[in-house]
Amino acid sequence: MNISVNQVQGRVPVAILGVQGDLDATNYQELIAKATEVYRAGARDILVDLGQTSFVSSSGLVALHSIAVILKGEQPPNSEEGWSAIHAVGRGLGSGAQQHIKLLNPQPKVERVMEKAGLKELFEIYTDLAAAVASF
């Protein structure tokens, strides 16, 4: 997996994290680490580009939720605890889609994983980069 970082300017600055390859238990912590890095550098809105992400496991879902927590200025939970981690991530996030992390172009099979895990409603999903950036 490779992670690219781009900064674009919409109404607010948006950091785009592009995930290329498989997002699984071997590397999801790299995505959390990269999100932490851009947050510490000042990013407060993150668009995760999943257009070139071929596979997402439950660990990848934990990573996406952890980014939501990081954007709240909190420490992400122990990411090896699956539901426990997402349970903790859910605490304080409130209901409905998150406003500071959004997803771009997930492949249908990736969307399906999110749907089956009952987590899809937590993320706004866009298929157009400009619309995604303008939504923040």
Binding site for other proteins (CB under 8 A): 22, 24-26, 55, 57-59, 61-62, 80-84, 86-87, 89-91, 93, 95, 109, 113, 116-118, 122
User: Rounded to the nearest whole angstrom, what is the least distance from the CB of residue 116 to other proteins in the complex?
Assistant: 4
Query: Residue 28 or residue 126: which is nearer to other proteins going by CB?
Result: 28
Task: CB nearer to other proteins: give 8 or 93.
Answer: 93
Cα end-to-end span (Å), the chain:
26
CB atoms within 10 A of CB 25: 13
Tell me how far apart the alpha carbons of residues 58 and 86 are, in angstroms, rounded to a whole number.
10
> Which CB, 18 or 77, lies closer to other proteins?
77
Residue 8 contacts residue 41 (beta carbons within 8 Å) = no
Nearest to 104 by CA among 130, 70, 122: 130
- Nearest-angstrom CA–CA distance, 100 and 98: 6
Shortest distance in whole angstroms from residue 70 CB to other proteins: 17
Q: How far is the CB of 50 from other proteins (least distance, A)?
A: 15
| Residue 36 or 55 having the CB closest to other proteins | 55
